[in-house]
């Protein structure tokens, strides 16, 4: 929508699309489909040359005078399609395990999601220190040191009885808030993990999160609850949490 407003004002726009069917329905003036996992719009973290090639491919679309046009990022290095397929398969298997009543394996049976966040906080702060404070955490506006209340809310929602939560924004649709919360939590985990294990790559991060952490299990259950409620908007946002 914003792209069309800018175009009407005479400003050419281009965009990155992580979900192809969404881009096909929205029909932005120019968009580059990138076959990477959600949260990795430019591909592998800490790989500036590859990320610059993604950006260059997107900027090259500005040469197209009129659209809509949806192009594919076709570069085969680093096997981005295989990375995406691996992450989708992991999330799909987690959803299947949740819906069948089987618990997703977690890294430690003694740690719940809130305790995991506490255990990872030092690594997340190391990430901030190593990257001049840059982070993609912050969509909800809730400071991560107050996430225990957020996690209790998500646990209640997944169980079908969400508690009262003072920081639930009254002017934000619940589906969008749940997606923002999931994105913040996943970003926190990924950045903490990359600070702790900088050798890990995209599919390894996804595998760790969805099969070895209590948070991955919780977000799987949240997404399953959203998808099962019969609300089309909730189901759409659930795909962005665990697909």
- Average pLDDT score over residue span 154-159: 96
**Residue 67 and residue 90 in one domain:** no
How many CA atoms are closer than 13 Å to the CA of 90, on its beta-carbon side? 23
Task: Looking at the structure, tell me whether residues 121 and 139 fall in a common domain.
Answer: yes
pTM of the model: 0.65
Domain co-membership, 38 together with 128: no
pLDDT, one tens digit per residue, over 60-99 is 998 887 778 889 887 744 444 444 444 444 444 444 444 4
* pLDDT at site 109: 53
CA separation for the pair 132, 128 (Å, rounded)? 6
Length of the chain: 243
**What is the side-by-side order of every strand in the sheet holding 69-72?**
15-17, 30-33, 69-72
Choose one of 53, 72, 91: the last residue of a domain: 72
Q: Are residues 104 and 159 in the same domain?
A: yes
Taking the C-alpha atoms of residue 54 and residue 43, their distance in angstroms, rounded to an integer, is 8
pLDDT tens for residues 12-71?
889 888 877 777 877 888 899 887 776 678 887 778 898 999 999 999 998 887 778 889
Q: What is the pLDDT of residues 204-215, one digit of tens each?
A: 888 899 889 999
159 and 199 both lie in a single domain: yes
Specify whether 145 is located in the same domain as 40: no
If you average pLDDT over every residue of the chain, what do you get? 81
More confident residue, 170 or 76: 170
**In terms of residue numbers, what domain contains 32?**
2-72
Boundary of a domain, candidates 20, 46, 72 = 72
124 shares its domain with 188: yes
């Amino acid at each position: 929508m914003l792209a069309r407003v800018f175009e009407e004002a005479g400003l050419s726009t281009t965009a990155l699309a992580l979900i192809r069917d969404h881009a096909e329905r929205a029909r932005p003036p120019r968009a580059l489909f990138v076959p990477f996992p959600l949260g990795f719009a430019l591909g592998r973290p800490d790989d500036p040359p590859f990320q610059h090639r993604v950006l260059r491919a997107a900027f090259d679309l500005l040469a197209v005078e009129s659209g809509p046009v949806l192009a594919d990022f076709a570069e085969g290095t680093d096997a981005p399609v295989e990375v995406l397929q691996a992450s989708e398969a992991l999330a799909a298997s987690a959803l299947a395990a949740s819906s069948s009543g089987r618990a997703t394996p977690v890294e430690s049976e003694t740690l719940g999601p809130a305790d995991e966040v506490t255990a990872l906080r030092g690594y997340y702060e190391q990430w901030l220190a190593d990257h001049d404070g840059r982070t993609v955490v912050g969509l909800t506006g809730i400071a991560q040191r107050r996430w225990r209340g957020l996690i209790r809310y998500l646990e209640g929602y997944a169980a079908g009885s969400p508690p009262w939560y003072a920081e639930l924004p009254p002017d934000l649709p619940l589906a969008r808030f749940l997606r923002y919360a999931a994105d913040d939590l996943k970003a926190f985990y990924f950045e903490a993990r990359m600070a702790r294990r900088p050798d890990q790559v995209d599919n390894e991060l996804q595998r760790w999160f969805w099969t070895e952490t209590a948070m991955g299990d919780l977000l799987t259950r949240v997404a399953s609850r959203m998808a099962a409620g019969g609300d089309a908007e909730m189901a759409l946002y659930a795909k962005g949490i665990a697909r």
